Each structure stands twice: as C-alpha cells, then as structure tokens.
Amino acid sequence: MIVECKSCAAANRLPASRTNEKAKCAACKATLLPLAHPIAVASSQDFDELVRDARTPVLVDFWAAWCGPCHAVAPELAKVAGRRAGAVIVAKVDTEALPEVAARFGIRSIPTMILFRDGHEATRVSGAMPAEAIEAQLSL
C-alpha cells in the first residue's frame, strides 16, 4: 500500500504486513507509523493485501466524491484514525474508482464502513455519524 508522509508528502510503499513495525519516510526520514490518518486504497490488489495481511483490524470506509454524507463522515473517520493509531488502520475505498471492490461486499449505500479482523468482515455500519458512534457501533 502507499502511505503519504505527513511531513513532506512523499509517497512511500509499505507492505500491509509491516504496519505494526517501525517505518520511516524514504525522502525525509520522518516516522510513518503508527498510521494516525486514513489512507486511500488505490487498487483492488492493495485492498486485498491490506485486509489480508494487516496485523491490526482494518476499518474501511466505502465512499464517493459526489456523496454529501461521505464528506460529513470523513473528519469523523480522521478522528477515529488519530485516536486509535496503532490499534486500527482506517482506509478509504472510492466506490467510483474501485466498483469491483464495492460490488464484492454488496455496498448498496454510502457511506458504509466495514471492520475487517484477520482478513474477514467482522461488522459493518452505514450512514454518517460522529466518531464516538462509529467506535461504539463497530466495537473499536
């Protein structure tokens, strides 16, 4: 998966299996982990690798650019990512860019958030809500 450095904005390739280890930006050497912000999933291969290989639970937000409630929930997911850094990875899947991933999980309304544990769907919730409700409903 690709992780953007918050210090210099450089793109860094990071295997999902190493998200619980130490990692530094190749360009500026700033610390990349733990992930305290949502990451964008660029391909179905990256999605599969992340869900399959991550050592921590993965919270995936299925969204689209035209969706108003998706824009409302985005800062709430950023709060979840910041508060749960190291304990959960928050990822975003654009359903317009990756319709095959959305179809695979039967996404019919957005935003829909699915929590994956050990490569399998654990629970899901749909609709915009505050960070506290997301955490409570998904048992984070």
Catalogue the E-assigned strands of 78-134.
89-94, 112-117, 120-126
Query: What's the burial of 107, exposed, middle or buried (CB within 10 Å: 0-12/13-18/19+)?
Result: buried
Q: Is 70 noted as a catalytic residue in this protein?
A: yes
d(CA 56, CA 19): 8
Q: Is 67 noted as a catalytic residue in this protein?
A: yes
- Known catalytic residues are 67, 70
